[in-house]
């Protein structure tokens, strides 16, 4: 976790989070422990719950508790346990949070639902997931977001490195550890070609798998085609594929009708939203038999003897069945820490009750903290070059409209409704013309 350690060394003496009371709901891993220790070293108090019932590393949670951190999480929680742990983080009258760090939006949702008055004390929310960010934008659009929120999921250092590069490696790690299957020659369908889907598809293609991609976005779909993947509808290949991976952030992507039509031995797993992409609830019926093979691996058996291999009960594969690379998580954790520092110390009025991206200068700072790991040396602009490009020699080096990936800007928030309506009109017109 090189950047977090560098952040401690650079900022520790200043204690920029003195007085901050951070309540967090993320994966409880060794990397999260380093983040919590860093926030503490910078002056914050922390209370933490897990955002996933299977991803907690129990030894880490125990070590944090022994170190004086309030952590409520264990691997294999029930749904009731999950919400109880979140409630324990925020229901203590003697300790009221003033900052939220969330992954998936469940903590924020719980406070909105149970303790809305708590937002009078909260200075801001930092959210790192597609789904959680989507919820925040919905609240903002409805005028119900009562504090500033920082969308770190769409910061470039999170979008590219955690979502793309991390998933490119952790998908294979999770699959190999849980199934021991050889993927050369296997037919795979990856649902969604955002950053996560791109990473998963590239990794399996490199292993020699035949990879199909499903997409709803024509731009991502075109990227998949240009990267050499066959774009299909799920129903076109569901009977033949050996592996189905969801990476969309949506729900019911793999519905019961698809599960019924899968071939015997098909592996089904999720790299997207926590537990909604695969319709696992529909599989818990009397006519189907569940057989636990090992931790996080179940056979679901149909009356005719057909079985599918379901990993992590449809929850995140990489954080349930493997350990994610600490270097990439260092990038995400540093982004989270800087976002907390930014919102907590921002002068009154800088951030309204809306959703913001991490300032580009901070994204560049996160990246620069990791370059020494590679013994990498940045080129510096001359005064003449900087003047020619209209840039400061110290950055930011790209304008706000520059895109490394599928990122959004704060300015898009207010225009979303108009652009969505306009795009719907254009798509309808194109479809009608095509029919004619």
Annotated binding site for NAD(+): 194-199, 215, 318, 325
Task: Report whether 388 contacts 161 (CB < 8 A).
Answer: no
d(Cα 191, Cα 193) in Å, to the nearest integer?
Answer: 7
Task: Please state the residue numbers annotated as binding site.
Answer: 29, 103, 128, 158, 162, 194-199, 215, 318, 325
d(CA 291, CA 35): 37
Q: Which residues contact 325 (CB under 8 A, 6 or more apart)?
A: 166, 169, 170
Give bridge partners of residue 25 from the DSSP assignment: 49, 102
- Residue 91's CB is within 10 A of a number of other CB atoms, namely 13
Please give the backbone phi and psi of residue 124, each rounded to the nearest 5 degrees, phi first.
Answer: 180, 170
Tokens of 309: 């291999």
The rounded distance, in Å, linking the Cα atoms of 388 and 382 is: 10
Phi/psi for 213 (5° steps) reads -130, 140
Backbone region of residue 385 per phi and psi (left: phi > 0; alpha: psi in -120 to 50; beta: other values): alpha
Known binding-site positions for substrate: 29, 103, 128, 158, 162
Q: What are phi and psi of 270, to 5 degrees?
A: -130, 130
CA 172 to chain centre: 18
Give the helix ranges, DSSP H, for 159-233. Answer: 167-179, 195-206, 218-226
The pairing of beta strand 210-214 with beta strand 149-151: unpaired
The Cα 359–Cα 50 span in angstroms is: 27
Residues 6+ apart with CB under 8 A from 125: 99, 100, 102, 108, 136, 147, 148, 149, 150
Q: For residues 34 and 139, what is the distance between their CA atoms, to the nearest angstrom?
A: 31
């Amino acid at each position: 976790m090189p950047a977090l350690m560098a952040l401690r060394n650079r900022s520790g003496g200043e204690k920029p989070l003195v007085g901050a009371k951070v309540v967090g709901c993320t994966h409880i891993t060794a990397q999260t422990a380093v983040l919590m220790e860093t926030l503490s070293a910078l002056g914050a108090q922390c209370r933490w719950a897990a955002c996933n019932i299977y991803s907690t590393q129990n030894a880490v949670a125990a070590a944090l508790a022994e170190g004086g951190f309030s952590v409520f999480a264990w691997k294999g929680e029930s749904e009731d346990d999950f919400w109880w742990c979140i409630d324990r983080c925020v229901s203590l009258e003697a300790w009221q949070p003033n900052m939220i760090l969330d992954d998936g939006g469940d903590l924020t949702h719980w406070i909105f639902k149970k303790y809305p008055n708590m937002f009078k004390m909260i200075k801001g929310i930092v959210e790192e997931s597609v789904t959680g960010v989507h919820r925040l934008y919905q609240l903002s659009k409805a005028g119900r977001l009562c504090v500033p929120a920082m969308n770190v999921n769409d910061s470039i250092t999170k979008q590219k490195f955690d979502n793309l590069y991390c998933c490119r490696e952790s998908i294979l790690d999770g699959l190999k550890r849980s199934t021991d299957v050889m993927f050369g020659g296997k037919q795979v369908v990856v649902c969604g070609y955002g950053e996560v889907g791109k990473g998963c598809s590239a990794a399996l293609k490199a292993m020699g798998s035949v990879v199909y991609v499903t997409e709803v976005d024509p731009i991502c779909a075109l990227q998949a085609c240009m990267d050499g993947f066959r774009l299909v509808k799920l129903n076109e290949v569901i009977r033949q594929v050996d592996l189905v991976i969801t990476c969309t952030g949506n729900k019911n992507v793999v519905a019961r009708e698809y599960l019924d039509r899968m071939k015997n031995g098909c592996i089904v797993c999720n790299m997207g939203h926590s537990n909604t992409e695969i319709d696992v609830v529909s599989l818990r019926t009397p006519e189907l038999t569940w057989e636990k093979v090992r931790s996080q691996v179940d056979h679901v058996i149909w009356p005719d003897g057909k079985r599918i291999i379901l990993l992590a009960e449809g929850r995140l594969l990489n954080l349930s069945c493997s350990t994610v690379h600490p270097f990439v998580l260092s990038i995400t954790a540093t982004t989270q820490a800087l976002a907390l520092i930014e919102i907590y110390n921002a002068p009154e009025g800088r951030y309204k009750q809306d959703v913001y991206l991490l300032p580009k200068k901070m994204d560049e700072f996160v990246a620069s903290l990791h370059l020494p790991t590679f013994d990498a040396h940045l080129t510096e602009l001359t005064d003449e070059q900087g003047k020619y490009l209209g840039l400061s020699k110290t950055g930011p080096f790209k304008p706000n409209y520059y895109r490394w990936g599928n990122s959004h800007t704060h300015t898009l928030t207010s225009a979303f409704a108009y652009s969505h309506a306009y795009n719907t009109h254009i798509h309808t017109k194109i479809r009608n013309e095509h029919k004619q």
